[in-house]
Each structure stands twice: as structure tokens, then as C-alpha cells.
Copies of this chain bind each other. A is one copy, B any other.
Amino acid sequence: MSTETRDTIYIGKKPLMAYVTSALIQLANLPAVNIKARGLSIGRAVDVAQIIARKTENAGYTIGDIKIDSEALESQDGRTRNVSTIDIEIKRSGS
């Protein structure tokens, strides 16, 4: 009864294809995954989503909802700074 299947990929500093692979493995088992990133990794999250969408056009994965937001992070000097975030949904089309 565990519904805690991991369905979110957080983008960091690994090579792009590592995240593409993780996402494709998730998508083999789940109807959708979310790709999340913040700050400087936002562009890389878009790259990952685009690679998946292009490579799996025949498999029928498409880009769903895209949300942007910002988070207050405390920096090392104790001040809070706002950091932008992105959340890109990739889903099986039609199902």
C-alpha cells in the first residue's frame, strides 16, 4: 500500500543524461514525473525536459504543467534571499 514511489527528479550538478535516465526509469513505472530545480539549475531542468520530450516522442511522453515559484533561502551571512524555482511535469500523453 506504499504510494511513496519517488516521482520527483531534483536537478543538480550531475551530467544531464544522468537525470534523463532517472526520469525515464521513473516514467517506465509511473504516469508522470516532475523535474524540479532552483537557481542556476533551472536552465538545466529545461534541457532535461526537452531531451526527454525529443527522445521519446514516439513513446508518447509530453511536457505537462510547468510551474515557477520562489523560495526564501538563508545564505551563509544569515540574510534571506529569494531563489527562483521551476517544476516541469512530464507525463504519458493520452493515459
Contacts and interface: CB of A to CB of B under 8 A. Distances in A.
Contacts of A50: 68-70, 82, 84
Interface in A44-85: 46-47, 49-50, 54, 63, 66-70, 82, 84-85
A60 B69 CA distance: 16
Given A68-B66, A70-B50, A43 B84 contact: yes
Contacts of A33: none
Contacts of A54: 70, 82
A9 interface: no
A23 interface: no
B66 A67 contact: yes
Contacts of A32: none
A12 to B, nearest CB: 14
A40 interface: yes
Nearest to A47: B84
Contacts of A63: 68
